[in-house]
Structure 1
Amino acid sequence: MQFHHRAVPIVLSAILIDSIGFGIVMPVLPRLIVELAWVSLEDAARIGGYMLAAYAVTQFFAGPILGTLGDSFGRRPVLLFSMLAFAADYALMAAAPSIAWLFVGRMVAGIAGASYGPANAVLADVTPPDKRGATFGLMGAAFGIGFILGPAMGGLLAGLGTRAPFIAAAVLAGLNALWILIALPETMLPEQRRAFRWGNAHVFAAFRPLLHAGNARWLLLAAFLWQFAHMVYPSTWAFWSEIALGWDEQAIGWSLAASGVAMALVQTLVTGRAIQRWGEERTVVLGILAGGLVFFGYIFARQGWMVYALIPISAFQALAYPSINALLSRMTDAQHQGALQGGMASLNSVALILAPLTLSQALAFSAERGFPSGNFILAAGLALAALLIVIFRVVPKVRPAPVA
């Protein structure tokens, strides 16, 4: 594939390495929590939910700050800081002697995890508005490919102990920071930068430039509900897989890798074509519809082959977020792209705060009653709400879809 700017493959490579580091620890996290807290797997699911909430709270505040810093001082230093913080976080978690230290590590990761905002801002800087949906799709593909490699590696490294994947993730994050330092050019032009003000570094200020757009508020609400529903995977997948299917770390890793393959194929081969053919708004509908149907399917999945049968359909939910992001990016000027992406990171953080506190609790509650699917029942309801908002409040108010 030929890229239109040399920053694009560098940012995609950085996200790829970062997602490998994120995915590599997922298969062992349930057992590490059980090991450190001396609790059952069901209680570990609850603790894992609280841990993700701690991550999200720090990301909620960090997202707009990093985005606004990127608009003021450039994207490159912000991304470099984030990757160095990730390296420190994984090293801390590798050595964590107690659950309390795991929580500290997740809070550090929450600050670093806001790096996706500046990374998306780099892509918005160098991509024409009409091509941003496809480029944001490549960002999702990079993350998906990382999930092909990361969980599979984590499942294999689990044989060396629950700490080994965290050590590997720390090394990868350090290499990622070095890659950004050496190779990434600055994409924020000096004349486009604006002075940093703390009054602009919060989520409400990030969305201020969108208030003039009539359907932006409904689109933001749909984006929030969809992200809330989609958090069922990082919040509960590893726990649900063990409880409902009896899978071990390697089986969990391979399922996540298979999902990564399918989603990467959709992001790379389908997203751009779908947006060109139907427009971003209708592509959002297709993505959320696919995701909602799969959530409903997982409610009744009790054998491994059922999961793998749903994965090809599940991959098409990857159409939703790049299309939403492209729509909002087209409504925002060049001086506020970083703030917008930081605001989106904070919006996702709110979903990530609520999701572990609700989806993991729903899983634990239903599992204790012999039907471990409460997490996917709730996710399906949220996806349905997002779908109805897009169909009745967003699609009717936009321009006709482009014709291929």
Structure 2
Amino acid sequence: MNTPRSPGLPFIFVTLLIDMIGLGVVIPVGPQLVTQLTGNPLLAARNLGLLIASFSLMQLLAAPVLGTLSDRFGRRPVLLVSTLLTAASYGLAALASSLAWLFLARALGGIGGATIGVANAYIADVSTPQTRARNFGLAGAAFGLGLIVGPALGGLLGQYGLRLPYVVAAALAVLNFLYGLVVLPESRQRNDEPIALSSFVPLRALGVLSRFPGLPVLAAVIICMNLAQQFLTSTWVLHGTVRYGWTTGVNGLSLAVAGVVSAFVQIALLPRILGRLGNGRTVTLGIVLGVLGYVFYGLSSSPWMVFAAMPVGALAGVAAPALQALITGQTPPQAQGAVQGALGGAGSLCAIAGPLLSTALFSHFAASDAPIHLPGVAFFAGALCLLAGLAVFLAFRPQPISQGEPV
């Protein structure tokens, strides 16, 4: 029997899609804009890294706080205000006359983009145990589609001005705010319980993950998966450029193909896989396929092998929605925002540590004079992260506590 879909789910999908498009449209022009503002290419490279890190740092600080606020005051106001902050960040970047203003814009963007936990909590609120993983899969599809549209749109718009992609990203965020203002219903009743002060201390707020049975294990697994994903995305372009001599266009094409395949898996295949295997076995299958995909990427000696391995790598994406469904099943309704916000904060930690570790590994082992020449080392390291997550999941996976939770 089909369950009617909440009118808020399309807004969540569009919000995540616009977030990814907004991030993607600035990728082709971000380095040039930093160079323009600094006037020094070497200084620009250093500041570009700091800008990327500042975004993740603000997400780390803001995600647990926003999740807790959404438990107290509702998901709707937090999502709408964050959408406005995102619009403001892109607008400020479009007008930035100095690097300091660009850093401020990036910080605002990190806060506005820290609502992935709130969005996941909204999905948990309006989903049944049987539809949770499927709905989380739609969120994953939004990321995949954004990965396709964003960089392509940014490259096209960037030809007419370095700041035009930022203007378009701001306009998209404003339109999404207006859309949400009209169609987005609140997903939970207001909670009048006082908020613990520790909820506003970001790293201490991560402690909510230890308050409910089974969550520490599932959180450890998702952290391993997030870290592996960071190893992949942070070195993908570097690896393609160094190992295969890919141009910017070919790198963009590879990302677009990966996004298309990923979206197809989340929309078309995930519901069928869940129906046959349930959440737990879907997580296991996804992680195993992820390990194989990462190893295939690392071993690929020719570009065609990379593209041939993409379906396996994309099928690994079935693990994350199923794991999110298990996490929401272990979490009381009144704590969904805090838990999802804490997971968002942990994901931001991975977004800080992952690029630093993976690029350091790549720069050492991909060098022609390296003692061991291993350009795919970051992918192999990602596979080890996934194996660690799989070991934890198989050894300590908790039993679901929600009635009707698929296993």
Aligned to 1:271: 270
- The Cα of 1:398 is off from its aligned counterpart by 6.6
Aligned to 2:293: 294
User: For the Cα contact (< 8 Å) 1:63–1:345, is it kept in 2?
Assistant: yes
Aligned to 1:242: 241
Does 1:147 pair with 2:147? yes
Cα distance change, pair 243–170 in 1 and its aligned pair in 2 (3 A): farther
CA-to-partner distance for each residue in 1:4-41, whole Å, 9 max, x for gaps?
21111222122222222122223444555566664469
User: For the Cα contact (< 8 Å) 2:129–2:406, is it kept in 1?
Assistant: no
Aligned to 1:363: 362
Does 1:382 pair with 2:385? yes
Aligned to 1:21: 22
Aligned to 1:262: 261
* CA–CA distance in structure 1, aligned partners of residues 385 and 208 of structure 2: 26
CA-to-partner distance for each residue in 1:161-194, whole Å, 9 max, x for gaps?
543333322221222222212221111213x553
Cα distance change, pair 234–330 in 1 and its aligned pair in 2 (3 A): same
Identity percentage over the alignment?
Answer: 37
* CA–CA distance in structure 2, aligned partners of residues 280 and 162 of structure 1: 44
CA-to-partner distance for each residue in 1:180-235, whole Å, 9 max, x for gaps?
12221111213x5533333234455455375442x432221121111011013443
- The Cα of 1:118 is off from its aligned counterpart by 1.3
- 1:2-21 matched pairs, under 5 angstroms: 3-21=4-22
* CA–CA distance in structure 1, aligned partners of residues 33 and 367 of structure 2: 21
Which AA in structure 1 matches 2:17?
L
Aligned to 1:80: 80
* CA–CA distance in structure 2, aligned partners of residues 274 and 39 of structure 1: 48
* CA–CA distance in structure 1, aligned partners of residues 158 and 301 of structure 2: 24
Does 1:186 pair with 2:186? yes
Partner SS for 1:129: coil
* CA–CA distance in structure 2, aligned partners of residues 98 and 295 of structure 1: 40
Cα distance change, pair 209–289 in 1 and its aligned pair in 2 (3 A): closer
Single out whichever of 88-97 and 18-27 deviates more from structure 2: 88-97
* CA–CA distance in structure 1, aligned partners of residues 88 and 102 of structure 2: 13
Aligned to 1:308: 307
* CA–CA distance in structure 2, aligned partners of residues 313 and 34 of structure 1: 38
Aligned to 2:163: 163
- The Cα of 1:360 is off from its aligned counterpart by 2.3
Which AA in structure 1 matches 2:305?
M
CA-to-partner distance for each residue in 1:311-357, whole Å, 9 max, x for gaps?
21111121122112111110111111111111110110111121122
Cα distance change, pair 204–135 in 1 and its aligned pair in 2 (3 A): farther
* CA–CA distance in structure 1, aligned partners of residues 133 and 406 of structure 2: 16
Partner SS for 1:231: helix
Which AA in structure 2 matches 1:133?
A
Aligned to 1:373: 376
* CA–CA distance in structure 2, aligned partners of residues 77 and 212 of structure 1: 26
Structure 1: 5+ residue stretches without partners:
none
User: For the Cα contact (< 8 Å) 2:75–2:188, is it kept in 1?
Assistant: yes
* CA–CA distance in structure 1, aligned partners of residues 96 and 367 of structure 2: 30
- 1:107-118 matched pairs, under 5 angstroms: 107-118=107-118
Which AA in structure 2 matches 1:344?
L
- The Cα of 1:70 is off from its aligned counterpart by 0.7
Aligned residues: 398
TM-score by length of 2: 0.86
* CA–CA distance in structure 1, aligned partners of residues 88 and 406 of structure 2: 48
Which AA in structure 1 matches 2:187?
T
Partner SS for 1:288: helix
User: For the Cα contact (< 8 Å) 1:71–1:335, is it kept in 2?
Assistant: yes
* CA–CA distance in structure 2, aligned partners of residues 91 and 303 of structure 1: 42
User: For the Cα contact (< 8 Å) 2:285–2:316, is it kept in 1?
Assistant: yes
User: For the Cα contact (< 8 Å) 2:294–2:382, is it kept in 1?
Assistant: yes
Cα distance change, pair 403–220 in 1 and its aligned pair in 2 (3 A): closer
User: For the Cα contact (< 8 Å) 1:24–1:165, is it kept in 2?
Assistant: yes
User: For the Cα contact (< 8 Å) 2:67–2:339, is it kept in 1?
Assistant: yes
* CA–CA distance in structure 2, aligned partners of residues 271 and 390 of structure 1: 20
Does 1:393 pair with 2:396? yes
* CA–CA distance in structure 1, aligned partners of residues 89 and 312 of structure 2: 34
* CA–CA distance in structure 2, aligned partners of residues 258 and 328 of structure 1: 30
Cα distance change, pair 163–203 in 1 and its aligned pair in 2 (3 A): same
- The Cα of 1:140 is off from its aligned counterpart by 0.9
